[in-house]
Amino acid sequence: MKNLKHTLTLFFLVLISTFGIAQQRKANKDTEAWRYEIEAVQTGTQGTYLIKVWSYSKKPEIAAEQSKKNAIHGIIFKGFPGKAGVPGQSPLTNNSNLEEEKADFFKSFFTDGGKYMKFVSLSNDGAVAAEDRMKIGKEYKIGVIVSVNVAELRKDLENSGVIKSLTSGF
């Protein structure tokens, strides 16, 4: 009887963790498929962008955590539109094939807990305002405000030879 209990507990634990991993994988696929939205919040301090990232997941916590990855992904490849008083920003690269050309670099850069984490931080400890948590069908759409250290991110990508610097060629 005791053995059965242990086995069942173990089984549920494995099931829960598998479900978590599956959710995370789904979130990563969403990032790769550009399934996120970025909007300007206000002009950040020197070298930073303050943006709100909308991410999707069945688990609100995963959506909030994925926002960091989406923020960096968006700033490198997508840019974001502005709003009244705050201009939008262009992506760090204008090469639309960069993600495929440097696939190996970005694979390790965007692994869970990867280097991208160095350049992004959650504002207000990741607290999500009530109006930024929406249930759409079976999943949540979560808006999280993050600050991205774009100056350091750009420098890192330039030093790695992923993007060109303003002075390259001179």
Buried b (16+ CB within 10 A) or exposed e, 61-82: ebbbbbbbbbbbbbbbbbbbee
Task: Work out the burial of residue 51: count CB atoms within 10 Å of its CB; fewer than 13 is exposed, 13-18 middle, 19 or more buried.
Answer: buried
Contact segment (CB under 8 A) with other proteins among 58-66, 101-109, 140-148, 161-169 equals: 161-169
Among 20, 47, 81, 161, binds other proteins (CB under 8 A): 47
Site string for other proteins, 88-117 (x = CB under 8 A): xxx---x-----------------------
The reply on whether position 169 binds other proteins by CB under 8 A is yes
Distances in whole angstroms, Cα of residue 7 to Cα of each of 17, 19, 135 = 15, 18, 35
Rounded CA separation 11/9 (Å): 5
Q: Identify residues 119-158 at the interface with other proteins (CB under 8 A).
A: 150-151
Q: Identify residues 56-95 at the interface with other proteins (CB under 8 A).
A: 82, 84-90, 94
Report the nearest approach of other proteins to the CB of residue 153 (Å): 12
Residue pair 128/146 in contact by the 8 Å Cβ criterion:
no
Helix runs in the chain, H state only:
2-32, 60-77, 98-101, 103-109, 150-159
Report the nearest approach of other proteins to the CB of residue 151 (Å): 7
In DSSP terms, which residues pair with 48 in a beta bridge?
A: 149
Among 3, 97, 124, 167, binds other proteins (CB under 8 A): 167
Among 7, 17, 18, 42, binds other proteins (CB under 8 A): 42
Q: Please, which residue, 57 or 89, has the CB nearer to other proteins?
A: 89
